[in-house]
Amino acid sequence: MATSRPLCTIAAVLAATALLISGCSSGSSTPESEASPGRGSEAGAGRTDPGGASATLAPLPTATPAGLRPYYDQKLSWHGCGVSGFECATMKVPLDYGDPGAGTDLKIAVARKKATGPGKRIGSLMVNPGGPGGSAIDYLQQYAPQPAAVRARYDMVAMDPRGVARSEPVECLSDKQMDSYTQTDQTPDSQAEVGKLTHAYRDFADGCRSRSGKVLGHVSTVEAARDTDVLRAIVGDEKLNYVGASYGTFLGATYAGLFPSRSGRLVLDGAMNPALDSRTINNDQTAGFNTAFTAFAADCVKRSDCPLGTKSVQDAGKQLSALFKKLDAHPVATGEARPLTESLATTGVIAAMYDEGAWSVLREYLAQAKGGDGRGLLMLSDSYYERDPDGTYANQMYANAAVNCLDLPPAFTTTRQARAAIPTFRKTSPVFGDNFAWAALNCAYWPVKATGKPHRIEAKGADPIVVVGTTRDPATPYAWAEGLADQLSSATLLTYDGDGHTAYGRGSDCIDTAINTYLLEGTPPPKNKRCE
């Protein structure tokens, strides 16, 4: 049961090249003028805000309130952890920034690896791989050595945001229940199947409420951005230097909106547009994955062994839809207790759309599935859900839903609304439209009312910010980057004409040189720079 919000790449599964950032994504929330994720699709995309957001995120006062001083002034007890050279600590932040010191604090896990030189240390560089729900600490420990020139001049720093991984993680289902949830049919063909789908959404939401308690209402992106500022102060930086991917761009942009005078060198890669509402976001992302599949299919049909035929892109789409329909009626064996269902197969294909390096693997696994062997697509699906071979799940999917559903009102609140939207979603993507339309119903039963709404982020007074967009990015469509770059008063848009989710560290010397130069020298790329 794939979510229709930006998530993670499958780089780990594919043993992809180590990146500085090549992340994930989704939405977020806001107190007064806070908001949520982005958009960009076919009709009406461009550099406008079709979500109709009128509010602009207002900066917080530059002076730190007295009630927050104990948090900003705390001293962390760093200790060695994980890979050699890394240090970890626990930071304390208020559960509710509106009532700090009320006796209810959260423990936030942080990590760093100090700069090794040569060259003068610039400061700290915080990273976030997206999600929401991706562990920034895990990411840091895996990829901090890249690129060496940046690593030499910065202390690399990461924080698992509240509700994520080591930081008061949101929990919702047992591993067995999550297995069942991921297999729920997300393209219901009858009223009974609609009932099963909505029941699954309700059970998921109820599980989050019963297992996560106080944290569930305080995992918004605005709160995570405020936690980021506490960490910035603790590590001794006057300004935040930051590289965020996918949802991490929304977190970074939110920080800039709240603290423009404290925003340093910010790279927002695979950008989201906070001015968009949930329905627009879901339909735009449907278009994004359709664009990615079209690129995959165009490459596939040129090959004699393409499992979707060699006629045309349109025919390849029909063959994939036929495979999904066949699996809906007759799931195939995988060598374990879980057969490959339509839902798991769809998730597996979606996972492979995040990285064009997965196309050859996807061709192989589609051929296997057509031959009755579902192991490959199941592995891709498990990578998307962060399910380990022993059957345990990371908390990313739980945190993802918790942040998304708090940050924006749901796209649909009734099954009637979702069903009525299917023709529009199907027109956007004949292959994935039905799946994404029903997936957009997932926040309808959330136990905590959304605190965020669509808004603009201008961050007036911030240092130059680099926004990066990839033209055929499936999870964060290019128009989202255009929209965010238009809003941010000091932004420069850097374009990668290519495939896959995000651009930095994914093989383009042009992109990497532009971003590394900005991080090391503070000079943003020229206006409207494009790379291939």
Tens-place pLDDT, residues 39-71: 232 223 333 455 456 799 999 999 999 999 999
Map residue 217 onto helix, strand or coil. Answer: helix
pLDDT (tens digit, 9 = 90+) per residue, 126-159? 999 999 999 999 999 988 767 899 999 999 999 9
Q: Which amino acid is at 284?
A: D
Residue 516 lies in a domain: yes
Residue 83 has a pLDDT of 79
Concerning whether 175 is annotated as a catalytic residue, the answer is no
Residue at token pair 């952890």: 81
Does 4 have pLDDT greater than 50?
no
Burial class (CB in 10 A: 0-12, 13-18, 19+), 116: middle
Higher pLDDT, 415 or 29: 415
Nearest Cα to 504, choosing from 240, 146, 102? 146
Q: In terms of residue numbers, what domain contains 225?
A: 1-65+113-448+456-532
What secondary structure letter does DSSP report for 215?
Answer: G
Q: What is the C-alpha R_g of the chain? A: 22
Residue 273 lies in a domain: yes
Does 188 have pLDDT greater than 90?
yes
CB-based contact 155:124 (threshold 8 Å) = yes
What secondary structure letter does DSSP report for 83?
Answer: S
Does 27 have pLDDT greater than 60?
no
- What does the DSSP assignment read for 142-196? HHTT-SHHHHHHEEEEEE--TTBTTBS------HHHHHHHHTS-SS--SHHHHHH
Q: Which of 212, 246, 278, 490 is catalytic?
A: 246
Does 207 have pLDDT greater than 70?
yes
Map residue 451 onto helix, strand or coil. Answer: coil
Q: Which of 25, 212, 382, 501 is catalytic?
A: 501
Distance CA 230, CA 70 (A): 10
Residue 231 has φ and ψ, to the nearest 5°, of: -65, -40
Residue 32 lies in a domain: yes
Higher pLDDT, 213 or 274: 274
Residue 215 lies in a domain: yes
Residue 107 lies in a domain: no
Share above pLDDT 90 across residues of the chain, in percent, rounded to a whole number:
86
pLDDT (tens digit, 9 = 90+) per residue, 405-420? 999 999 999 999 999 9
Q: Which amino acid is at 398?
A: Y
Strand order in the sheet with 240-245: 79-80, 87-94, 105-113, 154-159, 123-128, 240-245, 263-269, 465-472, 491-499, 529-531
Residue 52 has a pLDDT of 54
Residue 3 pLDDT class (50, 70, 90 cuts) = low
Residue 211 has a pLDDT of 97
Residue 303 lies in a domain: yes
Concerning whether 473 is annotated as a catalytic residue, the answer is yes
Residue 54 has a pLDDT of 72
pLDDT (tens digit, 9 = 90+) per residue, 373-382? 999 999 999 9
Residue 97 lies in a domain: no
Distance CA 225, CA 108 (A): 13
Residues β-bridged to residue 487: none
Mean pLDDT of 443-451: 97
Burial class (CB in 10 A: 0-12, 13-18, 19+), 93: buried
Mean pLDDT of 312-332: 98
Does 238 have pLDDT greater than 80?
yes
Mean pLDDT of 484-497: 98
The domain tally of the chain equals 1
Residue 36 pLDDT class (50, 70, 90 cuts) = very low
Share above pLDDT 70 across residues of the chain, in percent, rounded to a whole number:
90
Residue 49 has a pLDDT of 53
Nearest Cα to 518, choosing from 153, 258, 136? 153
Residue 37 has a pLDDT of 30
Q: Which of 473, 486, 499, 512 is catalytic?
A: 473
Concerning whether 206 is annotated as a catalytic residue, the answer is no
Residue 106 lies in a domain: no
Identify the CATH number of the domain in which residue 494 sits: 3.40.50.1820
Residue 2 pLDDT class (50, 70, 90 cuts) = low
Does 354 have pLDDT greater than 90?
yes
Distance CA 10, CA 22 (A): 10
Max intra-chain CA distance, the chain: 69
Residue 1 pLDDT class (50, 70, 90 cuts) = low
